[in-house]
Structure 1
Amino acid sequence: MSKQFTERIEIPEPEAMHDLGIRLGRVLGAGDLVLLTGPLGAGKTTLTRGIGEGLGVRGPVQSPTFVIARTHPSLVGGAPLVHVDAYRLGDAAEIEDLDLDFDRSVVVAEWGAALAGERESWLEVVIERPIGGAADGSAPGTTGDDDDDLVEPRTITITGFGPRWAEGAFA
């Protein structure tokens, strides 16, 4: 599958991650698949909450870790959001066993790299966060001003694959 575009975005704090999700949610529609990759605590669920808000779905959008998949119906007549935690699934065949309605939903899959290529088009979102000490010498995850202020910048790489994203970036 050919890559259609790649965009890198610097996210300074969780509110900006949520806002990026809202922007994504406003352009996503039925049949779209979003694959989220990033370490624990990177902001995958925060991004998905924003996507849910942008789609206008019923919340709250929470991590699907213990249920594998949650469906959030639309409150505005649009596509529902299906939020999947694919971490414990062995392969794409196990996703098929969940009987998700990919064609009429927006599916956001955390740890969903195994689903790449299962659809004609998809967005891959990779979230990176710093590891180790901060440049100013403060502890990782702090701003240096207040030890209780746990804000780490993130780098997001969004890559679109397939004809759905042939026109370029999402926004």
Structure 2
Amino acid sequence: MSLRLRTAEQTAAAGRALAGLLRAGDLVVLTGDLGAGKTTFTQGLGEGLGVRGPVTSPTFVIARRHPSLVGGPELVHVDAYRLGGAAELDDLDLDTDLAAAVTVVEWGEGLAETLSEDRLELALVADGDGSRDLVVRPVGERWQGTSAETVLARLGETTGGPTGETS
């Protein structure tokens, strides 16, 4: 099951909606091809969390911290694209921030799973027409009882209408 996002605005709206489901200590592993909307999704997530921005791609700095402006958890935004493996991810010492922040790791598949047994794995799959499908996989005890369908339905409510369809 996936959520069809036809525009960048809908991708950001899905991120804003996800913020309402997240709390300090949550890990989001975000995958997708180049240009699929990972940073746009994270920008929406940061907006929904009420963090100091702007949220931009941390490609060259690897990780950025965005403190909360509303008393919630900060956002730690990581781009693992340039990392050579799990050892380099471990060198970032992210596990010290996990309990106090919402951590998003772009390009994290195959690396970030070692950070926490509890995580949301999200994949943005770009289609040839400029739209993308958001696929969600809740993993671990934190998300026990929460199905991908439940998460996608919540996100679909905010992207709405025929352009925020779940399939």
Normalised by the shorter chain, which TM-score bucket? 0.7 to 0.9
- Counterpart of 1:63 (choices 53, 57, 64) is 57
Q: Quick check: which one's helix share is greater? A: 2
Q: Which amino acid in structure 2 is aligned with residue 111 of structure 1?
A: W
Instruction: Name stretches of at least 5 consecutive residues in structure 2 with no aligned partner.
Output: 155-167
1:119 aligns with 2:113: no
The 5 Å alignment of 1:1-150 reads 7-100=1-94, 101-113=97-109, 114-131=111-128, 141=129
Work out the CA distance in 1 between the residues paired with 2:90 and 2:23.
20
CA RMSD of aligned residues (A): 1.3
Q: What is the TM-score when the length of structure 2 is the normalising length?
A: 0.83
CA-CA distance at 1:124 after TM superposition: 0.7
TM-score with structure 1 setting the length: 0.81
CA contact (8 A) 1:17 1:43 kept: yes
The AA in structure 1 aligned to 2:138 is G
What residue identity is the alignment partner of 1:121?
D
Max radius of gyration: which structure? Answer: 1
Contact 1:92 1:115 in 2 (8 A): yes
Q: In terms of mean alpha carbon deviation, does 159-168 or 89-98 score higher?
A: 89-98
Task: Give the 4+ runs in structure 1 shifted more than 4 A.
Answer: none
Cα offset for 1:156?
A: 0.8
Return the alpha-carbon distance in structure 1 between the equivalents of residues 43 and 31 of structure 2.
Answer: 16
Residue in 2 aligned with 1:156?
A: 134
Contact residue 65 and residue 85 of structure 1 kept, 8 A: yes
Unaligned runs of 5+ in 1: 1-6, 132-140, 142-151
Whether contact under 8 Å (1:92, 1:118) holds in the other structure is no
Distance in 1 separating the partners of 2:82 and 2:131: 28
Identity, % of aligned positions: 52
